[in-house]
């Protein structure tokens, strides 16, 4: 993969694709700036190399211009984190005046690229048309938005093909970590999967099953596994359509000698609410009309023991409804066990990365917290990521 070292930068205007798709509260305040902070090393490297840095990014899934999805608040937060001014262009295709006014080492952010429908067009010629507008003011393209490298979009793929281009430091690091998890992880290798639906992670299970020593299942996906074992799950979230697929995984794990662990107990609730009435039950005793919202204390202990002895651990998907304190204990236990594990520990983006921050676990204790949810899952599925393919070769 081409890196920053492959680009000649001094005096150039570099277009930098970042992932600034941050969560916002109902008032439009940024609630988590992990992704903005993740971009700082590359921005600083480009500033130090003597480039003008013009950043492209998106926020949400706007249809046309939607003021609540403006990147203006991100420009302000970026400026605070960077400790220098960030100019803002309200035009997603770049505003010649703003770009011309930048001195070497200065930074600008363009408005939400998705305000221009060509960014996400299914027609490659429309995407190329938008990229050609950017290419008028840019000398080089740096791809550092790991969260979007699984997308074919103008600012990810077409733009990279139009100019000298390379991976930024974040994309290079994320790629290196996930490549190691896919090929060449040190063993014992443990994968922990949770989250809401098993259907979202079938590809990851399939891809990783032959590579791991232990696969620990939690979260909403556990209940489809219980169905596959012929157990009752009450009103817990489950996907009966996937029971046969999941049965296949159970058989495959046995054939491969993989230690596939399912929760042995759960925290169940009478309704989906923070103040629900809860109880701890064995997995064979989930009452009708109750829903499992977290893994139970015995499961936490069993999983923590496996994690402690692992040389590599990757985790994707919370163990329960961590957004409600009553159901956050399982997620917290797994996060703490990983934080204490001396092996190579990776959190695969999305809600698990958010959970670690919300639950106040020391982030420094992990080797890597990915900024890309969908991208990290697709990487682990062994899929080709178009935004990385365009950066390969010399
Ligand atoms: P990730 O983004 O890490 O891949 P997902 O998006 O698949 O994870 O799932 C995260 C969501 O799963 C969280 O909002 C959490 O509340 C929910 N969840 C976890 N366990 C359960 C459960 N037992 N029942 C319902 N929802 C759950
Ligand atoms: Mg998610």
CA 200/CA 224 separation, integer angstroms: 12
- pLDDT digits 0-9 by tens, 23-71: 898 888 998 898 999 999 999 999 999 999 999 999 999 998 999 999 9
- CA 394 – CA 378 distance, rounded (Å): 25
List, for residues 151-169, the tens digit of each pLDDT value.
999 999 999 999 999 999 9
Q: Work out which ligand 1 atom sits closest to the CA atom of 293.
A: 23
Instruction: Output 280-289 pairs: Cβ under 8 A, ≥24 positions apart.
Output: 283/226, 283/231, 284/231, 286/226, 286/231, 286/232, 286/233, 286/234, 286/236, 287/234, 288/232, 288/234, 288/235, 289/234, 289/235
349 belongs to the catalytic site: no
Catalytic residue among 180, 197, 247, 357: 197
Contact 151, 127 (CB under 8 A): no
What are the start and end residues of each CATH 3.40.50.1260 domain in the chain? 4-173, 185-380
Q: What is the pLDDT of residue 72?
A: 96
Expressed in angstroms and rounded, the spacing between residue 336 Cα and the centre of ligand 1 is 18
pLDDT higher than threshold 70 for residue 385 = yes
Residue 207 has pLDDT above 70, yes or no: yes
Helix spans in the chain (H): 34-48, 72-82, 96-100, 124-135, 159-162, 169-182, 202-208, 222-228, 243-256, 297-308, 329-340, 350-358, 373-380, 386-389
Pair of tokens at residue 342: 């001396």
Is-catalytic flag, 197? yes
Q: What pLDDT is stored for residue 77 in this prediction?
A: 97
Ligand 2 centroid to residue 231 C-alpha, Å: 27
Give me the pLDDT at residue 82, please. Answer: 96
- Answer whether 155's CB lies under 8 Å from 131's CB: yes
pLDDT digits (tens, 9 = 90+) for 315-341: 999 999 999 999 999 999 999 999 999
Residue 342 is predicted with a pLDDT of 97
Specify the ligand 1 atom closest to the Cα of 352: 3
Q: Residue 229 pLDDT more than 70?
A: yes
Interval 83-102: pLDDT, tens: 999 999 999 988 888 999 99
Cα angle, residue 275 at apex, residues 269 and 281 outer, rounded to 5°: 25
Q: pLDDT-based confidence at 231, cuts 50/70/90?
A: very high
% of residues, the chain, pLDDT over 90: 91
Q: How confident is the model at residue 139 (pLDDT cuts 50, 70, 90)?
A: very high
Which residues is 280 bridged to in the sheet? Answer: 267
Query: Is 350 a catalytic site residue?
Result: yes
pLDDT band at 8 (very low <50, low <70, confident <90, very high): confident
**Model confidence over 258-296: pLDDT tens digits?**
999 999 999 999 999 999 999 999 999 999 999 999 999
Task: Please state which CATH number belongs to domain 4-173.
Answer: 3.40.50.1260
Give domain 185-380's CATH number out of 3.40.50.1260, 1.10.287.610, 3.30.70.20, 3.40.50.10860. Answer: 3.40.50.1260
Edge-first strand listing for the sheet containing 140-143:
86-89, 107-110, 52-56, 13-17, 140-143, 165-167
């Amino acid at each position: 993969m081409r890196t920053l070292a492959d680009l000649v930068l001094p005096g150039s205007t570099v277009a930098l694709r970042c992932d600034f798709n941050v969560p916002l509260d109902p008032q439009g305040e940024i609630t988590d700036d992990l992704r903005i902070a993740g971009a700082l090393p590359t921005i600083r490297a480009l500033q130090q190399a003597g480039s003008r840095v013009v950043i492209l990014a998106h926020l949400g899934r706007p249809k046309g211009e939607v003021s609540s999805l403006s990147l203006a608040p991100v420009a302000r937060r970026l400026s605070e984190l960077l400790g220098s001014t960030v100019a803002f262009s309200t035009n997603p295709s770049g505003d010649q005046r703003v770009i011309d006014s930048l001195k070497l080492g200065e930074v600008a952010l363009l408005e939400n690229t998705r305000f221009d429908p060509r960014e996400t067009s299914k027609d490659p010629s429309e995407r190329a048309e938008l990229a050609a507008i950017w290419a008028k003011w840019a000398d080089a393209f740096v791809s550092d938005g790991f969260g979007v490298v699984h997308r074919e979009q103008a600012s990810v793929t077409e733009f990279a093909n139009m100019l000298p281009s390379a991976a930024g430091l974040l994309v290079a690091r994320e790629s290196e970590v996930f490549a190691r998890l896919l090929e060449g992880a040190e063993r014992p290798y443990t994968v922990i999967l949770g989250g809401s639906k098993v259907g979202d992670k079938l590809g990851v299970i399939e891809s990783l099953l032959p590579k791991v020593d232990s696969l620990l299942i939690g979260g909403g996906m556990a209940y489809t596994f219980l169905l596959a074992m012929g157990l009752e799950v009450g009103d817990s979230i489950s996907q009966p359509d996937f029971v046969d697929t999941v049965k296949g995984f159970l058989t495959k794990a046995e054939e491969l000698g993989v230690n596939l662990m399912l929760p042995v107990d759960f925290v169940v609730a009478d309704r989906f609410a923070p103040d629900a009435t809860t109880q701890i039950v064995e997995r064979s005793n989930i009452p009708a009309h109750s829903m499992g919202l977290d893994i139970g204390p015995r499961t936490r202990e069993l999983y923590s023991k496996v994690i402690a002895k692992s040389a590599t651990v990757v985790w994707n998907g919370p163990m329960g409804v961590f957004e409600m304190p009553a159901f956050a204990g399982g997620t917290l236990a797994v996060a703490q066990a990983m934080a204490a594990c001396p092996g190579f520990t990776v959190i695969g983006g999305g809600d698990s990365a958010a959970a670690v921050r919300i639950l106040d676990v020391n982030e420094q204790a992990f080797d890597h917290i990915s900024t890309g949810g969908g991208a990290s899952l697709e990487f682990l599925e062994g899929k080709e990521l178009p935004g990385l393919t365009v950066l390969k070769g010399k």
